[in-house]
Chains A and B, each alone.
Chain A
Amino acid sequence: MNATAEPTCDLTKLDPILARYPAERRSLVMVLQDAQQAYQYLPRPALERIAEALKVPRSHVYHLATFYKAFSLEPRGRHICTVCLGTACHVRGAQRLVEHVERRAGIKAGATTPDLELTLETVNCVGACALGPVVIVDGEYLGSATTTKLDTALKGIVKGAVEEQQA
């Protein structure tokens, strides 16, 4: 965690979150979940504040924040594209969709574009297997996804997503 790179972080957003749960270790995963939702990632000052409030060592907070995949210590994009790589999606060609977005956005899965517009994530199954392959763009599920459907969904988010196709 590079402290100098941290953008400023509004710690008051944590107050309602911390008020929702008992100030104990067992609340930690849920507090981190809600904090991640509030900030889109887990900024260092927020982690420090959470450690203090729940009376657990900072090392333990870091230990959890780096173990669970739902947490990110890096800022994420304004838009999130999640490609499901569950088995049913895999056998219907989901990997190709990941590669397609990687090429379009110029980033690898797990990364965020430098302009912080898009984060490309993969997930091991969202349980919408009957619709495979499934891609979720900003919470909207795309069933039986194709490269063409993805380009439409990413229009305006990824530069050139549609323009290049029509060139």
Chain B
Amino acid sequence: MTRRITDAAHLERLRAELQAARDPARKAIAVCAGTGCVAYGSRRLAAAFRDAVTARKLDVEVRATGCHGFCERGPLVVVFPSRIFYQRVQPGDVEEILDRTVAQGEAIDRLLYADPTTGRKYVHEDEVPFYAHQHRLILGFNGKIDPESLDDYIANGGYRALARTLTSLLPEQVIETVTKAGLRGRGGAGFPTGRKWALCRQAIGNPKYVVCNADEGDPGAFMDRSVLEGNPHGVIEGMILGAYAIGAREGYVYVRNEYPLAVERLSLAVAAARARGLLGNNILGRDFSFDIQITRGAGAFVCGEETALIGSVEGNRGQPRFRPPYPAQSGLWGKPTVINNVETWANVPLILDRGADWYAGIGTAGSKGTKIFSLVGKVNNTGLVEVPMGATLRHIVFEIGGGIRDGRAFKAVQTGGPSGGCLPAEKLDLQIDFESLTAAGSMMGSGGMIVMDDRTCMVDVARYFIDFLLEESCGKCVPCREGLTQLSHLLHAITEGRATDATLGALEALAPVVQDASLCALGQTAPNPVLSTIQYFRDEYLAHIRDRRCPAAVCKSLITYSINDQCTGCMVCARQCPEHAITGERKKLHVIDPAKCTRCGICHSVCKFDAVDVR
């Protein structure tokens, strides 16, 4: 089984054999095994399917797949060959699925996805609006293949781009193809990938390195985790192609330690590729050798910055240094190094497999291909969404995301993580690409998209990001270390009702200094969440400052809890209140003592009758 693949022709023979051995009519049950579904118990579910299949002696394959992206509705199951799609499946549903769907091809109504607004039910995955409006070039693999099986990847066209490239293209032609395709870095800044590779190829110094930045630190973004967990070979193939293009023999993947499943799957994939000769010496019988090592991060957000990442791989503190020289000239151990993010690497095999023209036909004039966004927060359908560059925010939030939860009003969408900004309803028709987001005061970043409703306080969001960055600042340069400390003080003064109009002025005066004077992108972009919220939601700042009021009822110092006449006197809130601030007899209206109340919000979250008001 684990025989070395000797050359390109051998790979094609193997692929043909694998494909021929697959019976499209074979009965199979695919259970999503992404982190989201695992959190909802998909491992127990897959085990229950396996046990039941064994007990009944059925010829049905039970397969664990990568993340399908619709995490909100997990655990997700697709039954083949009918492709019937079930969501929120529990071990108790296993017997019925085997009886009705696997044996009879019948759909079980209660397990089908129902649109939260129209109530319409959908039988197949690709009909569900969440998927139907997407263009899943990268994520499409996740649901099809078992991430722990190299054969599965090969049967689905895997390593075809590598075989063709090694036999028919010179390294310079690979760079030309990637340049012509218009691929830009998916890690945030959008630097043209082909140009980065050309700089590194031309740079003097040996050896050269390729690095995969899988230190996905932006809170609210998890596409890189999903790609590594769902299709690790796609990233490995991209790195091999990049190494061939720039002339590297060694590569590193720097992956967050908070992603244990991604580390596990990637390690398995690297070992499998090595065993078959797709990594190591003389890949596919050619005069080209390359291998990959996995390095785990240790919980420092700043290590997503490329020079800090290099420091961390070398065994030092992850602290950024001044650029230039850029890593393409002087990177790992001072040698020319190409660093690209997970999603960028995953795009590379597609470009070399299907051609630069095909790829350049997707997207906008300046931003090509698709982009994966993690659509999260107060939206109905949370999960991973892959759309062509140029899709509008409205399309993503309302058509794919199904609109705002609980029928509330859309307020803003935050893009670009802590480096990005909050865009209001007027920007919903913005066509998203690298330039348009920057022009609107936000950023593409790694693709986090956090939807906010009228109960999200924009000042609190700005405070949240500044406190996040203050904690993550490496402390090397003064503007970032001290500037963020002061920005944090000012924002706390506003959210705690201690601010005056001068506080807002001080924020607006200090923010540009931090932007201009900080050493790395962490500090340079840190004020974006503050400036964009002031730009679009100034009234909300003024309500905190002048009226001592938090319109979204979030900032603790400015809100009060009270009980209205919906109260049935069930006593649940009174029992749960940690401060014993709620009094009242059974079946009689309860009362909150504002002097004792610490505004922890437990009464509000436990009340089943909407009887607790927050103002």
Contact = CB atoms under 8 A, between A and B. Distances in A.
A25 B298 CA distance: 15
Interface in A102-147: 103, 123-132, 134, 141-143, 146-147
Interface in B302-326: 312-318
A25 B376 CA distance: 39
A88 B299 contact: no
A91 B218 contact: no
Contacts of B39: 128, 131, 134, 141-143
Interface string A27-44: 111101100000000000
Interface string B365-389: 0000000001011100011100000
B134 to A, nearest CB: 15
B300 interface: yes
B225 A127 contact: yes
A29 B600 contact: no
Interface in B583-605: 600-602, 605
A24 interface: yes
Contact of B217 (A124, A128, A132, A143): A124
Given A70-B257, A127-B225, A146 B374 contact: no
A32 B602 CA distance: 39
Contacts, number: 162
Interface stretch (A9-17, A73-81, A92-100): A92-100
Interface residues of A, number: 49
Contact of A30 (B259, B295, B300, B448): B295
Contacts of B414: 87
Interface in B1-59: 35-36, 38-40
B contact residues, range? 35 or more
A85 B220 CA distance: 10
Max chain B Cβ within 10 angstroms of own Cβ: one of A56, A68, A129, A134: A129
A127 B601 contact: no
B450 A88 contact: yes
A165 interface: yes
A91 B450 contact: yes
Contact of A100 (B217, B452, B602): B602
Contacts of A20: none
B309 to A, nearest CB: 12
Contacts of B464: 87, 90
A47 B204 CA distance: 39
Contacts of B153: none
Nearest to B374: A129
A26 B72 contact: no
Contacts of A143: 36, 39-40
Closest 6 CB pairs of A and B: A141-B39, A130-B71, A127-B222, A86-B219, A68-B298, A69-B299
15 contacts: A26-B313, A29-B298, A33-B296, A56-B315, A68-B318, A91-B456, A96-B601, A124-B468, A125-B221, A125-B258, A131-B36, A131-B39, A131-B74, A143-B40, A167-B575
